[in-house]
A and B are shown apart, each in its own frame.
Chain A
């Protein structure tokens, strides 16, 4: 008797627990729920987090994420309008804005991912293919700070004006994709171009170009160095000439002035008695010029030897000639 009531109690408890666990469900902060009755969606989606009640067994809670969800595109090989082959990698963030619609159209996230693949990849291709490479690389027409490099090494394509730029292109991709996705209960929050890279064969060419660019820059530096040093040497030569010639001019001037002054002094003095000067100077010259190797051939007519043969005076020594 007692044992039987025990079993009944236990059975009831199990029944209550099973019913409750089917009737109660929680919605977390990150979730939203669509209630379906035998597969048929009932009412609006439940987005309020917390404990909720539904009809047990007949109704089913289909949980969807409420957060921003990921969509990471595969690298896409796309030719740009200027026929550059590049890999473009985009990513997008989206959320289930209308879980009811989402549930009806796509069932689950897997379906959404493949639909987004089609839409965003397609729009990315369209936008990239309709624009030059520079448009997806740059965002503005900002002039580069060239530093020591000169303009001539830049490739013509790189000098092209940017009309739209990366920002506008990504916004274009977003805007175009955005138009389609509401049909699936999806809201596209953002699309960004994550990576742009050359495909391998183009990359090899770009590397070659970079190498030749650098070579040109290096050559210019080198010749600039040679030019500058030649310039400095020239400057040096010029200054040397200036210095030397100036020195020569100055020395000549100074010596000339000295000579002139001396000459004036001599002239002034010797003009007092020209004949005496000539005589004295001549005498001095004799002293200076006759040496051991000199032969003196003297006639007895000379004044000195006048008395050698006869002491009689024929003429006075040192007679003063007329001035």
Chain B
């Protein structure tokens, strides 16, 4: 028990050491094998890559661009000698200005904060202020240029879009911006941005530039609405006046027509009556001519015979007996002379 529990003689020690060395040698072989296999597996894995249908891949060897590969499975030289950068050339990409879509869907939600408000705020050509929200849709037309020409191609693209939109808005009045000029402004801004992309040679093709909400600044909004209201009021006043006009004029025309027709009737009536009366008189006169005295007496007596019974009071007095007349109150007497 001198060695603290161990009891080992020299022979045993050498044997043990030999065994250990043997075991170590075989395990070293094992480790080497494992490392070798790992390298091969890693090499195989890192030499394979796949390109999705909406992408292309740019392959660089020691940093130098060597080829572009299309969608599908591909092989490259492993161990970082060839590297792959994938670019979504088929995708339509979108940048939003003045707002951000938080969640797209049937009912998309949007967000505005100080940053997007600053993005949207701009001066118009008549030195007014408006907030403009817009989107730009674009595609990567040249993946090589897109990757290697500019360091921050997306950020730069945003700045370019802002500069071109402000340039165009700066040449339009606030009224144009809010009403008639929208499409023209979007078209011009798109043209400007496209030209800028060509000049920057950044491999981006602008597809569409669409104005979203274009508003006067928040504190000015009510007065813009007041203008719209005033326009409505104006239209209403005019419409009401026309309604009145349309109500009264045709009726007046109708009434006028009625009066004319009535006059026409009156004239015909007069003429016909005159003709009738005249014919009657002519007939009478013809007969009268044959026996004037008798006819005259007949007419006279017939008339009196018809008239006298109708009279309420009849007073017959003799010429010689004067003095009756004054007994009657004159006001009630209707004197009829023959």
Chain A contact residues, CB within 8 Å of chain B = 26-31, 48-51, 65, 67-70, 72, 91, 93, 133-134, 137-140, 142, 144-149, 154-155, 157-158, 166-167, 189-190, 192-198, 203, 206-207, 210-211, 213-215, 217-219, 221-222, 224-226, 228-233, 235-236, 239-240, 243-244, 246-248, 250-252, 254-255, 257-259, 261-263, 265-266, 268-270, 272-273, 276-277, 279-280, 283-284, 286-287, 289-305, 308-309, 316-320
Contacts and interface: CB of A to CB of B under 8 A. Distances in A.
A214 B220 contact: yes
B237 A67 contact: no
Contact of B316 (A211, A291, A305): A305
B172 A144 contact: yes
A82 B338 CA distance: 110
Contact of A218 (B128, B159, B230, B281): B230
B122 to A, nearest CB: 7
B173 A144 contact: yes
B267 interface: yes
Closest 8 CB pairs of A and B: A258-B267, A225-B234, A318-B296, A28-B63, A247-B256, A269-B278, A262-B274, A251-B263
A223 to B, nearest CB: 9
B315 A298 contact: yes
Given A192-B159, A297-B335, 8 more contacts: A26-B62, A144-B126, A222-B234, A236-B245, A254-B263, A276-B285, A280-B284, A295-B312
A166 B125 CA distance: 11
A263 B274 contact: yes
A240 B129 contact: no
B267 A254 contact: yes
Given A214-B220, A221-B227, A290-B336, A228 B234 contact: yes
A287 to B, nearest CB: 6
Nearest to A269: B278
Contact of A276 (B257, B259, B288): B288
B281 A296 contact: no
B148 to A, nearest CB: 4
Q: Among B230, B295, B312, which residue has the most Cβ atoms of chain A within 10 A?
A: B230
A309 B332 contact: no
Interface of B: 60-65, 118, 121-129, 147-152, 155-156, 159-160, 162-163, 166-167, 170-176, 179-181, 199-200, 216-217, 219-220, 223-224, 226-227, 229-231, 233-238, 240-242, 244-245, 248-249, 252-253, 255-257, 259-260, 262-264, 266-271, 273-275, 277-279, 281-282, 284-285, 288-289, 292-301, 303-304, 306-308, 310-319, 325, 332-336, 338
Contacts of A257: 267
Contacts of A51: 62-64
Contacts of A67: 148-151
Contacts, number: 379
A308 B126 CA distance: 115
Contacts of A221: 227, 230-231, 233-234
A290 B313 CA distance: 10
Nearest to A90: B163
Contacts of B253: 243
Contacts of A217: 227, 230
A232 B238 contact: yes
B147 to A, nearest CB: 7
Q: Among B167, B294, B314, B318, which residue has the most Cβ atoms of chain A within 10 A?
A: B167
Contacts of A229: 237-238, 240-241
Given A262-B271, A265-B275, A29 B65 contact: yes
Given A155-B126, A207-B217, A190 B271 contact: no
A280 B281 contact: yes
Contact of A295 (B230, B297, B332): B332
B151 A70 contact: yes
Given A229-B241, A273-B285, A318-B294, A218 B278 contact: no
Contacts of A27: 63-64
Contact of A194 (B166, B241, B293, B312): B166
B231 A148 contact: yes
Contact of A261 (B156, B226, B262, B274): B274
Contacts of B181: 145
14 contacts: A72-B159, A91-B156, A137-B127, A140-B171, A147-B176, A158-B173, A192-B159, A192-B163, A228-B238, A258-B271, A287-B306, A294-B313, A302-B338, A318-B296
B235 A70 contact: no
Given A50-B64, A195-B122, A299 B319 contact: yes
Contacts of B298: 318
A319 B310 CA distance: 26
A194 B158 CA distance: 10
Contact of A215 (B65, B129, B226): B226
B127 A258 contact: no
B274 A207 contact: no
Contact of B233 (A28, A222, A230): A222
Contacts of B223: 210-211, 214-215, 218
Given A207-B219, A235-B245, A276-B285, A296 B278 contact: no
A70 B230 CA distance: 49
Given A147-B180, A221-B234, A70 B62 contact: no
